[in-house]
Amino acid sequence: MNTVSIILIVFVAIEHLYFLVLEMFLWTTPKGIKTFDLKSKEFADDTKVLAANKGLYNGFLATGFIFSLIEKNIHFAIFFLICVTIAGIYGSYSTKNIRLFFVPGSPAILALIVLLINK
């Protein structure tokens, strides 16, 4: 992995750690409600367990990226970048919110392209 690939993977990992914090700890706060464009505080309260579960999965993705960097394993990095890309595609399709593709998906695709070009 070259320096640019590593920087991009670190960015994607940090992004997913941020998602973990937003979904597990800030979901029902004004920051979480605004970030996810939730209907109301009551809706946020009703869905906080689901959001926490989603946040945990984002934490697993971040851990996978960190592990791939520690182990210098390009295959793990590729796998997790593809997972984020697919999740971004599905998330934007299923919710009709294109932002769910661009925010997590585009950095992952960029990292994947750079990683594969320099493989």
| Domain spans in the chain, listed from the N-terminal domain onward | 3-117
Tell me which long-range contacts 100-106 makes (C-beta under 8 A, separation of at least 24).
103/15, 104/12, 104/15, 104/16, 104/19
pLDDT for residue 41: 95
Residue 34: count other Cβ atoms within 10 Å of its Cβ: 9
Residue 64, pLDDT score:
97
Going residue by residue through the chain, which has 119 residues, state the pLDDT in tens, using 9 for 90 and above.
899 999 999 999 999 999 999 999 999 999 999 999 999 999 999 999 999 999 999 999 999 999 999 999 999 999 999 999 999 999 999 989 898 889 989 999 999 999 999 87
Residue 68 near residue 56 (C-beta atoms within 8 A): no
Residue 117: its pLDDT value, please? 94
Question: What is the structure's pLDDT at 99?
Answer: 87
Structure tokens at 105: 């998906």
Q: What pLDDT, on a 0 to 100 scale, did the predictor assign at position 63?
A: 97
35, 23 Cβ separation under 8 angstroms:
no
Q: Which residues contact 50 (CB under 8 A, 6 or more apart)?
A: none
